[in-house]
Structure 1
Amino acid sequence: MKAYKRMGLTLRSLPGRIWRAIIPVALFLWGMWSLPYALLNPDHALIPGDLGDARFNNYVLEHFHQYVGGGVESFWDAPFMHPEENVIARSDNLLGTAPIYDAFRRLGWDRENAFQLWILVLFALNYWGAFVALRGWRTGPVVAACGAFIYAFGIHQIGHLSHVQVFPRFMLPIALMAWWRVLEGGRARWWYLTALATAYQFWCGIYLGFILTYGLLVLTVAHLVVHRGGPWL
């Protein structure tokens, strides 16, 4: 009888566990289908953006692929703005996510298709990065999935379609979550995670790295105001 009751409790709790596992995956698939994949068109004929940033970002990624494959001698000294040197350092170098593009190129995809797949992967990484961070903030899986959906596929993303260099921001919420754990008196591993996530975000995009730095500062001040206060305020 006790065994039956234990089995009954397990069966009654199973649907909730299943839903908590299904909802994050379902929202992810819905988001990928409704925004980034739809932008590419069913026949993969379209690339988000314009002939400015989109073309330049594709060029930087292809330049990285050529450099890794030995096609060019220097990554930083790209063959434009001659005779200036170190020209790649004057903009987002995308080094944090360029290996993803390089992997697709090595698998046989052409430049445009590899660029499209790179964009799809960034949407996916943004979703799961935000989901992991929100779970680290001790939110439930359903709430975390909803927050991650907004972060990765929200309407604000439409305004950035012409600037895909700001898409690699999956480490930003992880760094904020880790720093919040530090402010809460967490272990040293949260210091390490904050440093690694922040450094990697800079490699993904220098502008996003600076924005993350400002976010960490704001989070620190907010934590002091809420939990400690002081006459100096």
Structure 2
Amino acid sequence: MMIDAKSETILDCKQSSLFQFLKNYGWIFVFFIIGFGSLVFSLGKNFLQVPGDLGDARFNNYILEHFYQWLIHRETDYWNAPIFYPYPLATAFSDNLLGSAPFYAVIRILGFSRETAFQGWFLFGFVLNYVVSAYVLKKVNLHSLSVATGAFLFTFGLPMLAQEGHPQLIYRFCIPAACYFLYDFTNKPKLKTIFFLMTAIIWQFYLTIYMGFFLLLLIVVMAFMIPLSASSINIIKFWFSRIRSAWKDARGSHKLWCIAGLILLTALLVHLFIPYLQVTNLYHFSRGFDEIKTMLPRLSSYLLSDHSTLWRLGMNNFKDLPMRHEHQLFPGLAAAILLLIGMLWKKTDEKIPFLQIHATSLLIIFLITISVNEKSLYYLLLKIPGYNSIRAVTRIQLVLLWPLAVYIAFVIDRMVRLNSSSFRVKAALGVILLLMVSESVFFSHSTYSKIEGQKRVDSLRKIAEYSLKKANYPDPVLLIHGKAGDPWQITALDAMLTAQELGVPLINGYSGNAPAYSFAEWMHSCQTLPGSVNFYVDKANEFLQDPGLKLKERIVYVRYWECGLY
């Protein structure tokens, strides 16, 4: 069969287009499939494993479900989650997840269960992190392999996987976006870029407040370094000139839209922090110096990865490290090798502003947050509102993974583009990248059985329904006894999820903070129970100054069989 010249030309164009697409994006897809596939695989056959544990993972699931219940009008007030009842603003005792909860709600609206929606929400966070970081690295004209490596490290790096038990920390896609918008505004001052930058920063606060404060620190350091990289000592004058240029070049309508947008963003940020300020004033929550001190990064922190199948056996030398599970900051041997190669290489690439700014910011924040002999520059930041509420400073590594990913992507880019690259250089690069991928793939993920989690709540719900039916109160409040042999956190979360399903307020609770007089029911015997309830009720009435609350007459006791209460 003869093929005419026109058909042959079309075929050649299609083959050429496919080849160009694979050249530009092939490695990006390959690295994503490997990293994302390993996460999906960790969820087990038929998605029967839920990431995290029966503790913090289920707490995040409770908050996400609370958002969904509020969205469909089963809950009347988002900030008043019905735990630690009757104390107000319980949602603001910890992260609120408002920035990512809509993704969870969409999955729930499609008909999936609470745990399955949580799995989808968990995975989608990694998708967003990879897509945005890859997009930014592609925007600075890096090779496909360099883009893939940087995005892989930022998204699936060992420090991130080590925090999967705290899934609220996953959503970090605004970090690369904000850094890029700040850099882009330097070169092309436009009002819309300022709006995009502010949107990214405020959205990150809505995603998780921890990452919002750490991103703000990174942006401030970069804002100082950018003028210096441009040989401008007067930092204020530098930025003023950029803002003035952006304002001058903008159309009148663009100016109005930008002003309106910035006012809206400011209002959103204020709206987010008002409940937290109220909670601080009401309950006097704060983080003690000694508590913060235990979770400042040490040099040894950057050598720890206890859940890495490849490296955990050689990391038993720091047994005296307090809060060890929060110090898992080792970025991987492959990242360390590439970092060392970049440092030892000739400094020509450091003239690239994007690289130079990120690399210098990485070093400065590392020096600010490191603790040596219990001394750290970070203590100076405790005087700034917000930073004195951050307990786990070690989580700064989840932000620093971005400038580290940028640095390593540029190192690989130079290795790939060298015309004189020998076979040995290419082979060495292949081994390093294989090692990086293996470090993340061979990681011992923390999961719990979806069936076990559902059974725990189902069994407790049946008992609670019986107690509610027997009490037959018009406006009941649940007080649920702990299950013998279980950690109190797991018991509290069983109670929270059960009460959430029943739509009944709960005296028990578990969160990042708790009222001083919260009811620790697992600590009281039948002899002390009446006195403990009276004390709790008196303190709640005193706190709320609401004599019509009638709390004591509304309490339904669940699983208090040994006390003769049901």
State if a TM-score over 0.5 links the two structures. Answer: yes
| Residue of structure 1 equivalent to 2:163 | 160
Which residue among 116, 119, 143 is the counterpart of 2:119?
Answer: 116
| Residue of structure 1 equivalent to 2:144 | 141
Q: Between the two proteins, what is the percent identity of the paired residues?
A: 32
| Residue of structure 2 equivalent to 1:220 | 223
Deviation digits for residues 170-199 of structure 1 (CA, Å, limit 9, x no counterpart): 111101110111233432222111011111
CA distance in 1, matches of 2:214, 2:196: 18
Task: Tell me the secondary structure at the aligned position of residue 162 of structure 2.
Answer: helix
How far does residue 10 in structure 1 lie from its aligned partner after superposition? 9.6
| Residue of structure 2 equivalent to 1:87 | 90
Q: Which stretches in structure 1 are left out of the alignment for 5+ residues?
A: none
Checking the alignment, whether the CA contact within 8 Å between 1:183 and 1:220 is kept in structure 2 is no
Checking the alignment, whether the CA contact within 8 Å between 2:26 and 2:144 is kept in structure 1 is no
How far does residue 16 in structure 1 lie from its aligned partner after superposition? 4.4
| Residue of structure 2 equivalent to 1:200 | 203
Query: Greater helix percent: which structure?
Result: 1
Which residue among 21, 24, 31 is the counterpart of 1:27?
Answer: 31
Which amino acid is the alignment partner of residue 27 of structure 1? F
| Residue of structure 2 equivalent to 1:169 | 172
- Closer/same/farther in 2, CA of residues 231 and 223 from structure 1, 3 Å limit: closer
- Closer/same/farther in 2, CA of residues 138 and 124 from structure 1, 3 Å limit: same
Moved over 3 A (4+): 7-14, 229-232
CA distance in 1, matches of 2:14, 2:207: 44
- Closer/same/farther in 2, CA of residues 16 and 88 from structure 1, 3 Å limit: same
Checking the alignment, whether the CA contact within 8 Å between 1:175 and 1:194 is kept in structure 2 is yes
Checking the alignment, whether the CA contact within 8 Å between 1:47 and 1:116 is kept in structure 2 is yes
CA distance in 1, matches of 2:68, 2:14: 52
CA distance in 1, matches of 2:234, 2:105: 54
Checking the alignment, whether the CA contact within 8 Å between 2:178 and 2:201 is kept in structure 1 is yes
| Residue of structure 2 equivalent to 1:96 | 99
How far does residue 32 in structure 1 lie from its aligned partner after superposition? 0.7
Which amino acid is the alignment partner of residue 48 of structure 1? P
CA distance in 1, matches of 2:71, 2:100: 14
Q: TM-score, structure 2 length as denominator?
A: 0.38
Which residue among 30, 53, 57 is the counterpart of 2:56?
Answer: 53
How far does residue 51 in structure 1 lie from its aligned partner after superposition? 2.5
How far does residue 13 in structure 1 lie from its aligned partner after superposition? 8.2
- Closer/same/farther in 2, CA of residues 12 and 62 from structure 1, 3 Å limit: closer
How far does residue 121 in structure 1 lie from its aligned partner after superposition? 0.6
CA distance in 1, matches of 2:92, 2:75: 16
How far does residue 23 in structure 1 lie from its aligned partner after superposition? 2.0
CA distance in 1, matches of 2:17, 2:112: 46
Which amino acid is the alignment partner of residue 89 of structure 2? N
Checking the alignment, whether the CA contact within 8 Å between 1:134 and 1:177 is kept in structure 2 is no
How far does residue 200 in structure 1 lie from its aligned partner after superposition? 1.1
Task: Tell me the secondary structure at the aligned position of residue 47 of structure 1.
Answer: strand
Higher Rg: 2
Task: Tell me the secondary structure at the aligned position of residue 43 of structure 1.
Answer: helix
